Amino acid sequence: MITEGSTAPDFTLTDHNGEDVSISQFKGQAIILYFYPKDNTPGCTKEACSFRDDFKVYTEKNTVILGVSKDSVETHKKFIEKQDLPFILLSDPDAQVCELYGVWKEKINFGKRYMGIERTTFHIDPEGTIKKIYKRVKVDGHSAKVLELL
């Protein structure tokens, strides 16, 4: 189980450009690693756009933003283009990294049970330690809360 103060597990996923990306390649920078359910849905779009709107502040604080969902590389690319997102989106089609980070959970919607991503953000410090975990993220004001700890 991943906890605050533990080392962030490394992984490699494909980004929206078809390139392999590992969190270890960002050593020396803080990372905001956020898991979200689905591209182009209202809550996920609002969350991504709030990170986009604050992107300059993150960059000034030597921080990288990485978004992860099960969406395909192609869907991520379209989402980035449509919303003008300046950060990396990673495709986790088999939910392996979602499981590794403990965000692949059973969900219930209108009495129907299914597996899905629980909206969660991990703040990883420049040394690779998990500084803060934001579970069951509420989209409104989330980026501002994350920025408070940078």
Interval 32-91: pLDDT, tens: 999 999 999 999 999 999 999 999 999 999 999 999 999 999 999 999 999 999 999 999
Residue 126 to residue 111: CA distance in whole angstroms? 42
**Predicted pLDDT at 108:** 86
Contact indicator for 18, 73 with CB cutoff of 8 Å: yes
pTM for the model stands at 0.95
CB atoms within 10 A of CB 128: 17
Count H helices, E strands: the chain? 5, 9
**Predicted pLDDT at 94:** 96
Residue 83 to residue 136: CA distance in whole angstroms? 23
**Annotation marks residue 44 as catalytic:** yes
Q: How confident is the model at residue 111 (pLDDT cuts 50, 70, 90)?
A: confident
Residue 142 to residue 32: CA distance in whole angstroms? 12
User: Which one, of 132, 137, 135, 114, lies nearest residue 31 by Cα?
Assistant: 132
Selected catalytic residue, list 8, 44, 89, 97: 44
Residue 41 to residue 86: CA distance in whole angstroms? 18
Which residues fall within 8 angstroms of residue 18, CB to CB, at 6 or more apart? 73
Domains of the chain: residue spans and CATH: 12-148 (3.40.30.10)
